[in-house]
Amino acid sequence: MPDKAPSSSIPGGISRFATTHWSVVLAAGSASSPDCQRALSTLCQTYWYPLYAYLRRRGHDSHQAEDYTQAFFAQMLEKGYLSRVEPKPGKFRSFLLTTLRHFLADQRDRARAVKRGGGKESLRLDFQTAEGRYTLEPANDLSPEKVFERSWALTLLEKTMDRLEAELAGMNKAELFDSLKVYLCGHAASVPYRDVAAELNMTEGAVKVTVYRLRRRYREMLRDEIAQTVSTAEQIEEEIRDLFAALAR
């Protein structure tokens, strides 16, 4: 069979990301930045479910968790919390969780119900899927903080996978990605390379090389996603360790 996967078919990491640490956080905190809304949307879409899961594990029911999550982001926008974030050593997710705790304490002190969004500016969050996702969380004794970390890890991996899929689709290689993504999800042993090679009309060796490049590109994208919400290069490695530690619990 002819090899239909030339060496240049999958990005090999030659073009590196030029990512500024905390770039998304800083853009989201700058109202004058043309990227402000997009950055805000990126942060909210990444973190809303981990915060929702954290609230659920703290004992709030699904409606309360929705209301608190929406109101928290609304208050972040109204009071410009992100404009106060400085790129000092630290992780954005730690800042976010600490800010949420202060928000909850403030709500208790006021002893009033939190209305969804409170009529303030808010971002669209897909709560329709939230409780379904939460019911799939392991029935264990993980603390709310550990549930937050695990949800963050899964969300980040899913976001990275979506990004890689979009890149391959843009190269007219959606079918290739669909056939090979199993090797990125930890289920490689269940699908022999020779079976996929026959399906794609490729040699087994070409499939292995393509999978290697896909994995390398996936790691690049994951590092890039993490780099946008930490303040130092060293913390990228630390966050990757934390990510896999959270998934191992």
**How far is Cα 99 from Cα 73, in angstroms, rounded to an integer?**
11
pTM here is 0.75
> Which tens digit of pLDDT belongs to each residue from 183-210?
998 766 678 999 999 999 999 999 999 9
Task: Give the residues across from 91 on adjacent strands.
Answer: 230
**How far is Cα 215 from Cα 160, in angstroms, rounded to an integer?**
11
Question: In this structure, how many other beta carbons lie within 10 angstroms of the beta carbon of residue 128?
Answer: 7
In angstroms, what is the C-alpha Rg of the chain?
Answer: 20
- Residue tagged 């981990």 (tokens): 50
- pLDDT confidence band for 214 (50 / 70 / 90): very high
* Tokens encoding 143: 């603390």
Residue whose C-alpha is closest to residue 173's, from 56, 30, 11, 53: 11
pLDDT at residue number 18? 38
* Tokens encoding 42: 């990126």
- pLDDT confidence band for 8 (50 / 70 / 90): very low
